[in-house]
Amino acid sequence: MPVSGLGPYDDANIFARILRGEIPCKQVYEDEHALAFHDINPQAPVHVLVIPKGPYVSLADFTADATPEEVGGFFQSVGKVARALGLEEQGYRILANMGGHGHQEVPHFHVHIFAGRPLGPMLAR
Ligand code: AMP
């Protein structure tokens, strides 16, 4: 069920609970800016989520309210995760869903990394 990418941050969302260690994840990377873990319902042989540590609902408030250090540090972390997973030679796709039309389901900003096979056209036709 898509969620709004706007509005107040809900501390009870599933990624907030993962960040607090209340529920487990299959972690692949962590630094001061980001946590990366395997998606529970993978859509490709490699499907990893990278989330910032701060309370941001979507790309909208992340880019409006986070500091340049948080934004820059987070996107550097996305690149580090892909590099650490050895994805650069074959290539990969990153994607961030926002709000209803973007079909965002979890109201904590996250970037998907897909890889491990040719990923086809950018959007379903
Ligand atoms: P989005 O539609 O961009 O909000 O994507 C949310 C993603 O979170 C989906 O791909 C889900 O499979 C994934 N997801 C939901 N709950 C968990 C969880 N507990 N651990 C890992 N991935 C999850």
Q: Please work out whether the CB of residue 59 comes within 6 Å of at least one atom of ligand 1.
A: no
Quote the pTM value: 0.98
What percentage of the chain carries pLDDT values higher than 70?
Answer: 100
Distance 40 CA to ligand 1 centre (A): 6
Would the CA dihedral through 64, 49, 25, 87 be positive or negative? Answer: negative
Q: Which of 40, 50, 94, 103 to mutate to test the pocket of ligand 1 (most atoms within 8 A of CB)?
A: 40
> Residues for the chain: how many in total?
125
- The overall average pLDDT reported for the chain is 97
| pLDDT score, position 125 | 76
Task: Verify whether residue 110 is a known catalytic residue.
Answer: yes
Q: Please work out whether the CB of residue 58 comes within 6 Å of at least one atom of ligand 1.
A: no
Question: Side by side, which strands form the sheet with 27-30?
Answer: 27-30, 34-38, 46-52, 111-115, 93-95
pLDDT at 49 over 90: yes
Q: Please work out whether the CB of residue 24 comes within 6 Å of at least one atom of ligand 1.
A: no
H or E element, residue 82: helix 68-84
Would the CA dihedral through 56, 58, 59, 64 be positive or negative? Answer: negative
